[in-house]
Amino acid sequence: MDKKWLSKLPLPEITNITPIGGGDVNVAYHVETAKQDYFLLVQADQPASFYAGEVAGLKAFQQADITAPHVIAHGQIYGDAYLVLDFLPQGSGSQADLGHLVAQLHQVQSPTERFGFSQPYAGTSVSFANAWSDSWTQSFVNQRLDVLDASLLKKQLWAEGQRTQFLTARANIIETLAHHHSQPVLLHGDLWSGNFIFLQDGRPALIDPAAWYGDREFDVGITTVFGGFTSDFYRGYVSQLPLDDGFDQRQHFYRLYYLMVHLDKFGITYQRAVQIELNAINQQSQ
In terms of Cβ atoms closer than 10 Å to its own Cβ (0-12, 13-18, 19+), residue 162 is middle
Residue pair 157/267 in contact (Cβ under 8 Å)? The answer is yes
Q: Cα separation of 105 and 67, whole Å?
A: 10
Q: Cα separation of 151 and 266, whole Å?
A: 13
Q: Cα separation of 74 and 56, whole Å?
A: 12
The beta strands (E) that lie in the chain are given as 14-20, 27-33, 37-43, 71-77, 80-86, 185-187, 196-198, 204-206, 212-214
* Residues classed as catalytic: 190
Q: Cα separation of 24 and 257, whole Å?
A: 17
Answer positive or negative: Cα dihedral of 173, 194, 183, 135: negative
Contacts 24+ apart (CB under 8 A), 1-8: 1/29, 4/78, 5/77, 5/78, 5/80, 8/77, 8/78
Q: Cα separation of 276 and 194, whole Å?
A: 23
List residues bridging with 115 in a β-sheet: 133
Q: Cα separation of 21 and 41, whole Å?
A: 10
Contacts 24+ apart (CB under 8 A), 18-23: 23/194, 23/195, 23/208
